[in-house]
Amino acid sequence: MFESPGGAVAESLANPQPSGAPLTFLVASSQGDWLEVDLAQRPNGSTGWIKAGTVTLRSLVYSLQASTEQNTLTLLKNGTPVKTYAAATGTGGTPTPHGSFYITELLKPTNDGYGPYAFGLSAFSDVLSSFGGGPGQIGLHGTDDAASIGHAASHGCIRLSNADITELASLLPLGTPVVIG
């Protein structure tokens, strides 16, 4: 990853990621043979530049919009709302960060508390520098606490029912944009 098109190397990123998922970016803009990409790192909103010829580009038809005020997650296809899910979001002390993010990985958690699937997002908690042994990365996952759905109840992650996260796990590719507001 480079600081600017043709600029100095800023960082080398591992592919695959430690979880085994392929390294994935969301393209923010392009300049000639260079792509400005959103990065899954602190601070939220970080970007870097990569050479277009070093990656495989894919078109995306799906995106997600999360509302922390309404505790909902809306699936969009080509910008048109398709379905809205009830969700749990962060509490006042551990809020879900707002901004534009993307799906970085899909995991099958070994902890039942996260349900059958968990998407890692490029978002990180604004108040927790670590959580559960990880770097405070925000997830979109199922839950073993169905009563929390529809409420501000998480440490910043977005929780869905296990049926809903299973549905999305079979549908959404890595790189899917997620806007949280």
Q: Which residues have a catalytic role annotated?
A: 141, 157
> Which residue type is seen at 62?
Y
d(CA 45, CA 136): 15
* Burial environment of residue 82 by CB neighbours within 10 A (0 to 12, 13 to 18, 19 or more): exposed
Cis omega (within 30 of 0) on the bond before 43?
Answer: yes
Cis omega (within 30 of 0) on the bond before 5?
Answer: no
DSSP conformation letters of 52-90: GGGS------EEEEEETTTTEEEEEETTEEEEEEE-BEE
Two tokens at 138?
Answer: 């925000």
